[in-house]
Each structure stands twice: as structure tokens, then as C-alpha cells.
Amino acid sequence: MKVFRVVAISALIPSTLLGFIWPFLVSSDEAANWASWFFFASTTFTVLLLISLIASDDLGSKNVAFLGILSALVAALRPLGIGAIGIEPMWFALILAARVMGPTFGFLLGALSMLLSALLTGGIGPWLGYQVFAAAVIGFGTALIPLNIRGRAEIFALALYGAIAAEVFGIMMDLQFWPWALGTETELSYLAGAPIAENLNRFFSYHFLSALAWDIPRAIITVILILIAGKPALNALRRARHRAAFVTEVEFKELANVRSNHR
Amino acid sequence: MSTSFHPLTFWSIFTALAVGVVLSDSAISAFLALGGAAWIVYRFRGDGPWRNSFKWSLIAGLYLIAIRALAGIVIGVPRLGDTLFTLPRIQLPSWMPGIRIGGPVTWERLSFSLHEGLIIATVIALFGAANSVTSPRKLLRVMPSRIYQLAVTLTIATSVFPQLISSITRIRQAQYLRSGRRPRVSQVAIPLLEESLGRAVALAESMEAKGFGLSKVQSRYRPITYSSRDLIYIVAGFIFSGAMVAL
Amino acid sequence: MIKFSRVSLIYPHSTTTVIEDLSFEISEGEMVLVMGHTGSGKSSLLRLVNGLVPHHTGGILAGEIIVDGRSTRTSKPGELAGIVGIVGQNPIATFVTDTVEEELAFGLEALNFPNDVMRKRVEEALDQVGLAPLRNRDIATLSGGEQQRLAIAAALVMHPKVLVLDEPTSALDPVASEEILAILHRLVHDLSVTVILAEHRLERVIGYVDRILLIEGDGSSAIGTPSEILKKSDLVPPIVRLTRALDLEEVGTSTRDVRRITEKLRSDLPESERPSHIAGRALVSAKDICLSYGEKEALKEVSIELRASEITALMGRNGAGKSSLIKALVGLMEPKSGYINIDGVNLMQIKQSERSQRIGYIPQEPGDLLYLTSVNDECSRADKDNALPKGATFELLHEMLPSISGNSHPRDLSEGERLTLVLALVLSGAPDILILDEPTRGLDYSAKNRLMALLHNRACEEGTTILIATHDVEIVAEVADRTIFLADGEKVADGSTLDVLLASPAFAPQVAKVMSPRRWLTVSDVLRSQELSE
């Protein structure tokens, strides 16, 4: 069972990624048309399967309660932003929570926060898989930050990660949206069968236009929030993690031992 | 009325319609499907905040068509045909090579963009329609029991969410009254985070005490079942969709 | 039913024992109150009963706890769900779903009960707590008392033999808390359920419990009948303070008992005046204010005056319009008609920054104002905000609460300490009006006494105008000069605390109930009369 899960997860990740990068790989217009609809449908399934496999380990009441409430919190922070959709304080909460609770928790938190947003606003559809996966990747990616750094260094590392994450999310969303927004046959569209360098050039030209509007404000807000509120937020999360005793040490002793050890 | 449908009924109908529209790839079937969706939404839409999804998805679809048309006009690769008008050429800086802006715009070019845009906008609107007529809470109640724990997580989240929103208002007001200024994001976010974490600790404890996670199998209180009406609608949806492809 | 044998407990990363060498037994159908100061380990003790401690929280446990023949060493909390039901301090935080019926079904679903059993149990539980008419309601729309009843029902669906409750009435108004206690009483007497509860508001529960378990912070403990324990405890309800102050032999725990032993006093003692200091000018005057949320009218032509150096209490059931009146007074909501003047200037004409300076507001959740990581940081923030010399706020806090450490995290403080911190932060701005919304929730007697002394001092020494919205009749009886009573958005009483409280049986303090028809509200009122007679 364990082996099956590992194999399944390692098969699902590349097939999900294919959903993002197929425009670089298709060789003809016909294949492109087919691929666009196929991945439109399949990505949601692979992502949901991935989440359920990763969560299929018995999560336990602590993880379920924390995931449920923190994903509500992340979703609740979305409208706290200032006007534009690009400026979302949610990334700040997701990154800090993932940092404290670990990458697997971060993966699920990212995914569930997006799912919840969609559930609440009636935004369920094939496009959802892409957003869910991108947010999950950002939660999981906090594993890149070394565990042992603390204090200022930690805040700066998180802020740097926040900026990168905002950009990565932007790239992933644009990869999804690129073929749909422009279709084929424009100067910035993907060109089936063209060399990857040519398509990358086209993609980043397209991405550059959208990044100005969305990614840069998102990155700035995330970095500022982490710098300002990172310390108290990390502190709150660590204290709660401690209070909830995620790593419970349960011991039963005879009376005499307790007294001699601790009095 | 709408409360008695199985939550997956409309999802299967609209998915079938979306497949039908994509396979038939015709503007007529797209409009037919949209008409059907509009009728179903008008008839059966729910009463939560999700009820306006169809409307929003239509707006999103229109935007998409507009973007496509604009992209087709401004940076489209020329197609042969009747030239409608010609835009002036603009030269881009050298670091964005190979991209031309402007040039002649043909009717074929424009209609190609509009047609592709319409199909995609229709698919988006069909899913928007499914959202409009299905309560997300009921959707959670029919999740397969394999993902029971995930479904519980989302149930917690949907229950807590509105309370957190009112907490935000409450904290904002308290901070505002103290300082007389509009509070900063972190002044609201930190008390909210602390409150949420406190709840999470209490909730975990209460779930543990109720035996959550102990049994590998769970039962369902008042399970939602398919009625014959559900089946009739689903079959009708599939026939409609099949007809679009066949014609 | 429950047997603790030589139980000691230490939490991980800690070197002090929370509970030490505790042994006692509780038999079936008993109602036991766990009593102790804040931080004495009451909550830990309650959670030991179903094994949440140490299985869920971690910790080292010595000794043995047997519940209905099963040891918590070998049984996990969930496995004991059918034996012990536990109701947490803040019910809304413990709910998983968002409708009444689904919440009741949650535990049954998780443990895979068959559908027909679930249906039956849910119906039963709804009836036991009287929630059947609200079965489809959204939980967030329930009142505090209804939520508490739902939490109890959610435990009852498992058919537990023991019900454990952590402060079930702290957040409730007197009427709702009577309802909860009546339900518990019925469970004990009709179904022989064993009930263990912790509660700060002893005056509410003392008449219902069979025995009291007293745990002291130093690890010592005692169990016995209420009169045995209350004779030596320093935590006592007003009724016991009365018998002690009067040097009576017996300690009565119910109004009826104490009425019997004070019969002679009631007829012999002379009248005495409640000391009243002279209230200053009317600083705040609200005239005929109406307020509504959409269709719903929240306030109907309410007029009040708040005077300098005077403490006014604002009372009324949940939803009576207390919060709306406060929102209007602090300027959050503009009245639909009528006006509010401060020093003759219309509140709406005053800028918010100036309003914030003049009106100090303590919200229901004091934590809403705290967002830094230490008491010191919060205090320096307040220094900066109010342009005070460095350290001024901490000094003020230190005066109010000498034991506080500047390095502690604001969230690690007890409820009472946290309230004091927020009071210090707000008072450092030297507001001439202070408005407190439900300040006594979760406070133990010592924290309450501290709060009362502080308010009294502020009003008399500094001439501050104080308004407290509260359910707590005892605190009103002790400190309020005047009481305003709201019902259904209308002002139904406004007068001296003595007159208003004596007029309403449900809101009468314990001493007044005992001493009725004499006009005494507190122990000191009675003592004053006694001094007069000597």
C-alpha cells in the first residue's frame, strides 16, 4: 500500500505538470487542440487524486482541525487586500503557516484554501485544479528554507521566498491561461511544433505584460507583510503548535518516579 | 424545489453539455447549451452567495472573448481574406524580438478569434451554472468516504469562514476605536490569527473526544440519494448533449 | 464511577507538577464542582477524566484513573466517547459543522453508527436540551445559551455516563445559565448521569452540586460537601461571605438555608444608607436615539445620561440592545434619529482621533487590541501612541497588577491579567469616559475584585465616567452607582442600582435574595446596618 502510494504520487506529479507545459511540447495544431481540452479536464482530476493520496495517511484530529481553520483564515484574508485581485494577503499566511507546520501541511493548506475559496464563491470548475496545484506547490516549497535559521535571517528568507512564490504563482497561472486567453495564431500565442526557445520567448513576452498588473503588486504586498508581521505571526503559530502538542510525549509512570525527578 | 436535487445531478448535466459543446465546436450548439443553462439556473438556483456564479462566469466569458478579439486584431497572425481595416505597424524594442503589432485585419481573422472565444466562454459559463444551482455544503456531503477527512476539513472551513469574517470586522472596529485610525493589515491579521489558532486547539480537542479518526469507516446521517427526477434530468441532459454532437 | 488513585501530572517541557498525588472517588449520579484559583489545574483535571490529558496534550501521568471500570492509560479519549462526554469552555469553537442537526450527528458518523440509531439519538438529544424547534438553524445564529445547550446535546448523543463541563455558565446571562443548570440537574436526577463541572461563578452553581473538589495551586486538594469545603475555602460565593461576615455557625449554600438562619437579623437590623459620592456633571447625554439594522429595530428612543465620577451599569438579556447602545456611544454607528452629545458637542461632529482620546473602550474580547509579542512591546506602543514618556504605561500596569512580568507573551496571560493589560493600555491615554463591554467573562473572584477596585478608584479619584455592560449582577451590586436596564431595544429601568436590582427577581444578587424584602445588595450593605445597630 505504501509502495503503491509512492508510485502513484510520483506518477501524478509529472502528469499534473504536463497540464501546465503542454504548449511547449505539442507538435501540430491538431494535437494542440486535443491537448488543450484533454489537460483542461485531466488536471483537475490528477490534482484531486494527488491531494487525496497525500492526505490519505490518517491526518488525525489535530491536523484536520488546524487545516480546516487555517484554510478558512487564508481564504478570509483574501478580501482584506486593497482592491485589486492581485494584492492578496493570503500568501503571507500560507507561507508562514507552512513554515511552522511543515511542507506536507503546507501543501494541503495551499490546496484546501484554494478549494475553499472556490466552494464559497461558486468558482468550482476545471480551471480550479491549476490554482489548487499552484497554491499547494507554494505551501510545499517552504521546505526549501533551511529549518535551523531563526530570527531576522528567517524573516528575510521567508520574505525572499514570498517574492519568489508570488512570481511562481504568477507564472503557473499564466501558463494555464496563456493558451486560453490568446488561443492560437497571435504573435504571443504558442506555436505548435516550434522550438522550445521560441515558445519560451513568446510565453515570457506574454507573461511580462500580465506580471506588471498582477505579480509585482502581489510580490510587494507579500514581502511587506512578511517583514512587518512575520515575527508575531510565526510566534503565534509556533506557540499554538506547541500548545496543541503535535508531537505528544505521553508517558505513564509510577508515582515515586515523578516525585524524585521533578521535586 | 431546488433543495431536493442530488448535488451531482446538475454537475453531470453541465459537464455533459460542456463536452457536447467542445466536441461539436459550433456556435449554434454553444448558444443552445447556454440557453438551456440559463433556464436551469433561472429555475433552480440556490440562495447562498454562490447563486450568482452563472452571472459572473458569463461576464468572465465576455471578457475572455474581448481579450481574444483584441489580441486577434492587434497581435494576430494574419489570415487571408477580406481586409476589414488596417492598423499601423508598431516596432517593439529589440529585447522583445519577433513580435509584430498591427497590420491588416481580415474578417476571417476576427471571426476565428470570436468563435474560439465563444466556445471557451460557453464552457466556463456552463460550469458557472453548475455552481449556481448546487450548494457547496451539499456537495461536501456526497464526497466519497475515502476522502472523509478532507471533506471534514472543508466542512470545518466553510463553517468557520463566516465567523472569521465577522471577527475581522469586530477586531477592526476595536482597533479603530483605540487609535482613531484605520488599522494596518497586521494589526487585524495577528489578533485574527491568534483567535483562529485558539479555536483550532479547542476544536482538535473536541474532535478527539468525540472519537474522530478512530473508525476507518464512517456512516452518513440522512444520506442524500438520487431520486427518479434526478435521473430524468440527467438522461435529458445527456441526450441534449449527444444531439449537439451528432448534428 | 470515577476513581483517581494517587494521580500526578507534569506537562512536557515543564518542571512543575500541575496536579500532585490526587486521590478521590465520584459515584454514579453525583454532581461535583471542581473549584480552584485560575491556573490551579482545574482544566487539566477535567481533561484527565476522559484521557485527553495526557493522550492528546502530552504529559507524564503517574497514578491511575478508572472511569466506569476502564483505565485512561489504556483507553484513548475517543474510545471513551461513549462513557465520558466533555463540553469545552467556548462551545462555538468546538463545533465542526454549521447546523444544529449535523453537529449532533458528527460524532455518531465518525464512529460509524447505523443510520436508524443516529436518527433516534439525535431526536433524543434535541429533546433533552429543548433544541428541537431549532434543529435546522445555522449554529452561528444561535444565542450563547443555545450554543451551550447544543454542546451538551452533542455530548449526550453518545449516551455518556459522565458529563464534564468547563465553565458552562461563565459567558451566559442569569436566565440562560439557569436553563443550563436545570438541564444538568435533570440529567443527574432522571438519568443518573455523573456531572463534573468547573465554574468561576460559584453563586450560580453552588445550590445544585452534591460535592466540591477543591484544588489548590500548591498541589493539595480536598473533597467534601459544599458546606464542608466552603467553610475553609478562600474562594466563596457572596452567600457564604455573608454567613462568615455575620459570624454564623452554619455555612448555608442555598438561599433557603441562609434565609432560615438569618431570619432574626432580617427583622432586627436597622436600615442604612448605601454610601454615595456626589456624581459630577452629565458628560455624555444621549437623547431619544433610535438605531436599526435593516428592518430590525435595535434601539427605540433610548435616552441616557452618563455623569462624571459615576459608574453606570448597563444590563439586559442578550439581544436587548446593549451592544447597539455601546456602538452608538462610541460613535461606530450613527443613530437614525436622536443625538448623542459629549460636553454639549454632538458626537458625530467630533473627529474619530479626538473621540478615541476621550472615550476609552474595552471590547468584549480584550485580545482584539493585542498584536505584539510581549507585554513590554504593547506598553511601549501605547506610550508612543499617547505621546507619554517611555515606560509610563508599564508603570501604570505595574500599579494595577504588581505580579505581571514585562516579558510575558500577552496570550499567555490569564483572562484576568489580559484584561488588566488592555485596561492599562487604554487608560494610559487618560480618557475621561471608559466603556467596558462584558469585562467579567472568565474572571475568577480575585481578578473581579481587582477590576472592581480599579473602576472604583478611577471613578472616585480621577472623576472618570464609567459605563459597564454586563450580565454579572454581583459586580453591578458591588460597584455600580446607577443601573440602566434595556429590554427589546427599550429602556425599561434607569435609577439607583439598589432600586433597579431589587425590582427584578431574575437579576437580583444573591445577598438581596437572601435578605429580601430588606434593601441590601451586598455583604457590606448588611455589615453597615449591623455596625449601626451596635
CB contact under 8 Å between A240 and B53, yes or no, is no
Average pLDDT over residues B220-238: 88
Within 6-25 of B, beta carbons closer than 8 Å to A belong to 22
Best of A225, A234, A237, A250 to mutate (most C CBs within 10 Å, chain C): A250
Within 183-202 of A, beta carbons closer than 8 Å to C belong to none
CB contact under 8 Å between B212 and C355, yes or no, is no
Is 60 exceeded by the pLDDT of residue B22?
yes
Residue B208 near chain A (CB below 8 Å):
yes
Interface pTM (ipTM) of the complex?
0.91
Within 18-57 of B, beta carbons closer than 8 Å to C belong to none
Task: Please tell me the predicted confidence (pLDDT) of residue A158.
Answer: 96
Is 50 exceeded by the pLDDT of residue C210?
yes
Note the residue count of chain B: 247
- Beta-bridge partner residues of B101: B90
Cα–Cα distance, B29 to B23 (Å, whole number)? 10
Average pLDDT over residues C268-287: 83
Percent of chain B, pLDDT > 90? 36
Is 80 exceeded by the pLDDT of residue A249?
no
CB contact under 8 Å between B156 and A64, yes or no, is yes
Best of B193, B203, B207 to mutate (most A CBs within 10 Å, chain A): B193
Within 164-193 of B, beta carbons closer than 8 Å to A belong to 164-165, 168, 184-186, 188-190, 192-193
pLDDT tens figures, C323-345: 899 999 998 888 999 999 998 89
Choose the most confident range, by mean pLDDT, from A235-249, C11-25, C160-174: C160-174
The mean predicted confidence, pLDDT, of chain B is 86
Is 90 exceeded by the pLDDT of residue C57?
no
Average pLDDT over residues A185-193: 80
B51 contacts in A (CB within 8 Å)? 122
Task: Please tell me the predicted confidence (pLDDT) of residue A140.
Answer: 94
All residues at 6 or more sequence positions from B183 whose CB lies less than 8 Å from its CB, including other chains: B171, B172, B175, B176
Is 70 exceeded by the pLDDT of residue C42?
yes
Amino acid letter for position C57: T
To the nearest whole Å, the CA of B169 is away from the closest chain A CA by: 10
User: What 3-state class would DSSP assign to C483?
Assistant: strand
Is 70 exceeded by the pLDDT of residue C13?
yes
Please state the φ and ψ torsions of residue C268, each to the nearest 5 degrees.
Answer: -85, -40
Lowest model confidence (mean pLDDT) among A78-87, B45-54, B220-229, C72-81: A78-87
Residue C111 near chain B (CB below 8 Å):
yes
CB pairs under 8 A between A and C: 62
Average pLDDT over residues A37-61: 85
Task: Please tell me the predicted confidence (pLDDT) of residue B93.
Answer: 64
Is 70 exceeded by the pLDDT of residue C36?
yes
Side-chain half-sphere CA neighbours of B48 within 13 A:
18
To the nearest whole Å, the CA of A127 is away from the closest chain C CA by: 28
Average pLDDT over residues B197-204: 94
Residue C368 near chain B (CB below 8 Å):
yes
Radius of gyration of chain A measured on its C-alpha atoms: 21
pLDDT tens figures, C91-117: 999 999 989 999 999 999 999 999 999
| Comparison of pLDDT for A206 and A97, the residue scoring more | A97
Percent of chain C, pLDDT > 90? 53
Bond prior to A89 in cis (omega within 30° of 0): no
CB contact under 8 Å between B210 and C110, yes or no, is yes
Give the burial string for B178-190 (b: 16+ CB within 10 Å, else e): bbbeebebbbbbb
pLDDT tens figures, C291-327: 988 888 889 999 999 999 999 999 988 788 898 999 9
Is 80 exceeded by the pLDDT of residue B101?
no
Cα–Cα distance, A246 to B213 (Å, whole number)? 15
Residue B217 near chain C (CB below 8 Å):
yes
CB contact under 8 Å between B163 and C371, yes or no, is no
Cα–Cα distance, A78 to C463 (Å, whole number)? 45
Residue of chain B minimizing CA distance to A89:
B185
